[in-house]
Amino acid sequence: MTRTAGASTPRGRGPAAAARPVTATLANGLRVLLRPMRQAPLVSVWCWYRVGSRDERPGLTGLSHWAEHMNFKGTRRIPREEITRQVELAGGLWNGYTWLDVTTYFETVSRDAFEAMLRLEASRMTECLYDRREVDRERNVVISELQGGENDPRTFLEREVAGTALQAHPYRWPTIGYLSDLRSITRDELYRHYRAHYSPGNAILVAAGDFEPRAALALVRRHFGRIPRGPAVPPVRTVEPEQSGERRVTVRRPSGAAYVHIAWPAPAAADGDFATLLMADGILAGGPTVNLWSGGQGRGPSKASRLYRALVDGGLASDIGTAVIPTRYPYLYSIQATVRAGVDPARVEAAILAEVAAVARDGGGDVDRARARNQFMARFALESESVTDVAHQLGFFETIGDHRQWLDLPRRVQAVTADQVARFTAARLDERHRTVGILVPAAAAATP
């Protein structure tokens, strides 16, 4: 005999909310979040900057990402190879990334190397070199990264959809930048961008791991406390004008499959409707994550979700995916499908829209809503266990607004009602606000 698990009656209590960090703001404006976690002799240090592709303009797209690359090229006190060497000798994992709102660098290392990582990040904040020869070499590396991404035809579709759905806000251009800009950006433009945005007043230092918070804060003060606050960074002024009708875009590229990508304007992370969107996404696609760093790892598709059952089980698509991305300003919610061979993409588009319309009518129903809620709660707990994940999540949300928005998400998601889901979906995920992109496989000869 086999048992079944009921969606409406989760057994036991839900996972406890993630513990709050110790917080401080230094006199120079550096925001500090420290979260002790003693399960392993490790510490994860993340230094976040409130700068991303939103802080660029046409002609200079890709500056933030390229600057991130340059900040691995050595500082006045730390030679190029030493930056990664110090981390790896401490058993560490290191990396950095640039996104719409943020640029970040991290090291997860043995606890004994905590102070060395603070020293490294303080040096990276203040004294990177931007050697002209290094800038020229890295231009090729960044262009290679761009072109590697473009080998996946879906990159073109995503870029077209974002650029069509957003017509004014700087979220519309790709984080990596346009090829023409990457070919012409100068060393001095890169360096000015670095100096304008890398300062304590525009940064958040986060650590999670095996340390005592008071001693850790003293170390942070020692290494960052004397750095001048830096210039104030202006907020993005442009507000995306409201869309007033469906937009469509077709991309023709050599491709092994056709793809459908539909996007709608999405609420910012601080918006009360963000949790409602998470619930709607959970009903449609199952198990939403708000962890951009590791949220996709170790998971298969949600086979009980409405989109999977309609599209994949329905024989229309070989794969589906959705994206809910926490952002400072309103961005996009998207649903993507890989069209099964021999199927008309129009049928896939129609099936996606039918499922969205059904959620607008029923708000997900009690069973699907309970499942989406349970999936979110479990996923939140599972993604709050490693020092790297916790430091990432605290820092990411603090950089786009406030870390408490992340800590509070379980409560907010649990409180979402069917009526809220229905009203949100009907009003926001509708024909008037959507942008539909189709990638049609094209013969190679017809492409550049």
Phi-psi map region of 114: left, alpha, beta (phi>0 left; psi -120 to 50 alpha):
alpha
**What are the backbone dihedrals phi and psi of residue 185, each rounded to the nearest 5 degrees, phi first?**
-60, 140
3-state secondary structure of 106: strand
Task: Select 244 or 445, whichever has its Cβ closest to another protein.
Answer: 445
Nearest approach, Cβ of residue 382 and another protein (Å): 5
Residues 6+ apart with CB under 8 A from 81: none
Interface with another protein, residue 333, by CB under 8 A: no
Q: How far apart are CA 271 and CA 66, in angstroms?
A: 31
Question: CB neighbours (10 Å) of residue 72?
Answer: 18
Interface with another protein, residue 17, by CB under 8 A: no
From the list 302, 336, 420, 435, which residue makes contact with another protein (rule: CB under 8 A)?
Answer: 302
Question: Which x/- pattern over 47-86 shows residues binding another protein (rule: CB under 8 A)?
Answer: -------------------------x-------xx--xx-
Residue 242: half-sphere exposure toward Cβ, Cα within 13 Å: 5
Find the binding residues for another protein in span 385-414 (CB under 8 A).
385-388
From the list 92, 200, 230, 363, which residue makes contact with another protein (rule: CB under 8 A)?
Answer: 92
Strands (E), 50-202: 93-98, 103-110
Task: Select 200 or 288, whichever has its Cβ closest to another protein.
Answer: 288
Find the binding residues for another protein in span 232-251 (CB under 8 A).
none
Interface with another protein, residue 255, by CB under 8 A: yes
From the list 3-11, 212-220, 352-360, 426-434, the region that binds another protein by CB under 8 A is: 3-11
From the list 19, 141, 168, 239, which residue makes contact with another protein (rule: CB under 8 A)?
Answer: 141
Task: Select 167 or 184, whichever has its Cβ closest to another protein.
Answer: 184
Nearest approach, Cβ of residue 34 and another protein (Å): 18
3-state secondary structure of 36: strand
SS percent in the chain: helix, strand, coil, step 5: 45, 20, 40
Question: Which x/- pattern over 357-386 shows residues binding another protein (rule: CB under 8 A)?
Answer: -------------xx--xxxxxx-xx--xx
Q: β-strand 42-49 against 203-209: which pairing, if any?
A: antiparallel
Nearest approach, Cβ of residue 430 and another protein (Å): 27
Nearest approach, Cβ of residue 5 and another protein (Å): 4
Residue 45's closest CA among 58, 27, 59, 32? Answer: 32
Nearest approach, Cβ of residue 60 and another protein (Å): 21
Taken in order 208, 327, 380, 404, the sign of the CA dihedral is positive
Task: Select 26 or 387, whichever has its Cβ closest to another protein.
Answer: 387
From the list 117-125, 161-169, 222-230, 254-262, the region that binds another protein by CB under 8 A is: 254-262
Q: Is 379 exposed, middle or buried (0-12, 13-18, 19+ CB in 10 A)?
A: buried
From the list 20, 25, 38, 127, which residue makes contact with another protein (rule: CB under 8 A)?
Answer: 38
Residues 289, 379 contacting (CB under 8 angstroms)? yes
Question: Which x/- pattern over 164-193 shows residues binding another protein (rule: CB under 8 A)?
Answer: ------------------------------
Find the binding residues for another protein in span 106-135 (CB under 8 A).
108-110
Residue 46's closest CA among 393, 281, 337? Answer: 393
